Amino acid sequence: MQYRCAKWSGSHLRMMLFARRALLRAPAGSPLAGIYLHALSELNERTGNIFHYTWPVRRHLRAVTASLTALPEDNPHLPVLRHLLAYHLSRAGLFTQALEQFRLIGRWCGASPWRDQGTPTATFDLARGVAVRLSRTSPLPAPPTRDLLHHHG
């Protein structure tokens, strides 16, 4: 993908075409679909433009989501890809889907793109909070607690 990007011998268009082909041809359960997320990150870094989150991009992000859902939990690429996916879903306005990724990620915020923003924890917390707020999703129920004072055993 790097070879096809504008900073080397290609263009933004060639890079995105390559990334779309990789996404569409990736076998089910393959991290290869994540190339699309890396291409979006490269595009954001080079252009700073959030206006490229068009409906086809949103559709591709949903396809990446489906592909990552099929990945085994122990896949070493999965954590970083989930962070990138949460980031791009949020920027695309797909807050409910982003929130699901944030829930799967948990509290760890040491991955790109949060690390690239100066204050990773604050950036991650803000993005997660925006996803919660704008998804209009009910909070998760509190885990059950045991009443240790009135134990009837």
Domain ranges (residues) in the chain: 2-135
Joined together, the tokens standing for residue 118 give 């100066």
pTM exceeds cut of 0.85: no
pLDDT in tens, 58-100: 999 999 999 999 999 999 999 999 999 999 999 999 999 999 9
Contact 1, 46 (CB under 8 A): no
Q: How far apart are CA 83 and CA 67, in angstroms?
A: 15
In this structure, of 87-91, 110-114, 122-126, 130-134, the range with the lowest mean pLDDT score is 110-114
